[in-house]
């Protein structure tokens, strides 16, 4: 039997929840259900969408599919199916106990209710998912060009009005494309538009990350520290989006190659909207979880726990 104090200490040690305030941890702990699985027993099966996730306390599990690609062996303090429930993956995963397992289980709807009532927990997960994705993005091959294939921008050559900003935020491929009109309107009212000449330094490596710059027109040249990698970004790309959520400093210098127009989305203003609009927050978490799984597949490596914490 896992006691309440042991549950709280165990949960706080997990990387996805490591930044939680002490008073928030018992909220999760009291909703965890203790589960046991015999060696050889299936926790999850292919083709069935997971409706819960597990945090392993004792024992080990072999997982395949989803965030685990071709297979991963998981042990104490790893989670099973965390990304899959956030991403709402219908494909499911396959997870089998390699030995007797004791785990803490969270049902998806219970977990979503916890996030809705406790925004700081949701914010911590956003930060960890952004950090997991950023660790892979830092390995970008030199010479890469980033601009979305889906939802390419077609904007007028003038400042966008409110309706145009709303349409830009809800374009196909945007994490906000299914958000409510009220929530999107709140964001659209907070963003500001900027124009830069060619050769303008938007930020330097090591600068504070407090906003994302969605490129409307033009291209930006990005150079990592000591010139180890160079890449470019074009219209539609949210420059600086990952590090602003992970709270990391800028990891490259961004200089406009051509005259550039951007809309600037301040992080704190966006988080204020998230806090008041849980459906938008959950949609954003789902988009981030899907991206972590996708970028892990692109990298050809196994995503370890953020599922619980480190993804590659």
Contact 307, 77 (CB under 8 A): no
Q: CB-side exposure of 111: number of CA atoms within 13 Å? A: 22
Secondary structure in 3-state letters for the chain:
CCCHHHHHHHHHCCHHHCCCCHHHHHHHHCCCEEEEECCCCEEECCCCCCCEEEEEEECCEEEECHHHCCCEEECCCCEECHHHHHHCCCCCCEEEECCCEEEEEEEHHHHHHHHHHCHHHHHHHHHHHHHHHHHHHCCCCCCCEECCCCCCCCCCCCCCCHHHHHHHHCCCCCCCCCCCHHHHHHHHHHCEEEEECCCCEEECCCCCCCEEEEEEECCEEEEEHHHCCEEEECCCCEECHHHHHHCCCCCEEEEECCCEEEEEEEHHHHHHHHHHCHHHHHHHHHHHHHHHHHHHHHHCCCCCCCCCCCCC
Out of 44-53, 171-180, 195-204, the most confident range is 195-204
**249-277 pLDDT, tens digit each:** 999 999 999 999 999 999 999 999 999 99
Instruction: Report, at the CATH architecture level, how domain 4-117 is classified.
Output: Sandwich (2.60)
Parallel/antiparallel/unpaired status of strands 72-74 and 79-80: unpaired
pLDDT above 70 for 179: yes
**272-296 pLDDT, tens digit each:** 999 999 999 999 999 999 988 887 6
Confidence bin at 1 (pLDDT 50/70/90):
low
Confidence bin at 173 (pLDDT 50/70/90):
confident
**38-60 pLDDT, tens digit each:** 999 999 998 889 999 998 999 99
d(CA 180, CA 170): 10
pLDDT of residue 309: 33
d(CA 252, CA 53): 36
Q: For the chain, what percent of residues have pLDDT higher than 70?
A: 86
pTM of the model: 0.86
Burial of 150 (0-12, 13-18, 19+ CB in 10 A): exposed
191 token code pair: 């963003």
Q: Mean pLDDT over all residues of the chain? A: 87
Instruction: Give ranges for CATH 2.60.120.10 in the chain.
Output: 4-117, 139-276
pLDDT of residue 69: 80
172 token code pair: 């196909």
Give the distance, in angstroms, between the CA of residue 83 and the centroid of all CA atoms in the same chain.
10
pLDDT above 50 for 78: yes
Fold classification of 139-276 is: Jelly Rolls (2.60.120)
pLDDT above 80 for 297: no
């Amino acid at each position: 039997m896992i006691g309440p104090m042991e549950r709280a200490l165990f949960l706080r040690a997990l990387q996805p929840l490591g930044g939680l305030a002490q008073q928030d941890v018992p909220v999760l702990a009291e909703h965890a259900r203790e589960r046991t699985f015999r060696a050889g027993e299936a926790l999850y099966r292919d083709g069935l969408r997971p409706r819960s996730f597990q945090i392993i306390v004792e024992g080990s599990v072999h997982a395949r599919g989803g965030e685990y690609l071709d297979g991963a062996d998981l042990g104490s303090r790893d989670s099973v199916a965390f990304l899959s429930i956030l991403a709402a993956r219908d494909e499911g995963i396959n997870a089998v106990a390699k030995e007797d397992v004791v785990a803490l289980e969270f049902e998806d709807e219970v977990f979503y209710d916890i996030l809705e009532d406790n925004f700081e927990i949701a914010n911590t997960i956003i930060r960890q998912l952004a950090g997991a994705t950023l660790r892979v993005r830092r390995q970008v091959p030199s010479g890469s060009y980033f601009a979305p294939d889906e939802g390419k921008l077609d904007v007028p050559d003038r400042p966008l009005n409110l309706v145009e900003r709303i349409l830009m935020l809800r374009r196909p491929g945007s994490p906000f494309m299914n958000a409510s009109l009220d929530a999107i309107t709140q964001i659209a009212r907070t963003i500001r538009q900027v124009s830069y000449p060619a050769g303008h330094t938007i930020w330097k490596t090591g600068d504070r990350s407090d906003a994302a710059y969605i490129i409307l027109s033009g291209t930006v040249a990005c150079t990592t520290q000591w010139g180890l990698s160079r890449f470019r970004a074009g219209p539609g790309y949210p420059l600086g989006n990952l590090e602003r959520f992970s709270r990391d400093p800028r990891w490259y210098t961004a200089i406009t190659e051509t005259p550039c127009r951007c809309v600037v989305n301040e992080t704190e203003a966006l988080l204020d909207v998230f806090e008041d609009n849980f459906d938008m927050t959950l949609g954003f978490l789902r988009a981030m979880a899907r991206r972590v799984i996708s970028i892990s597949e692109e990298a050809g490596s196994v995503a370890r726990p953020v599922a619980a914490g480190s993804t590659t």
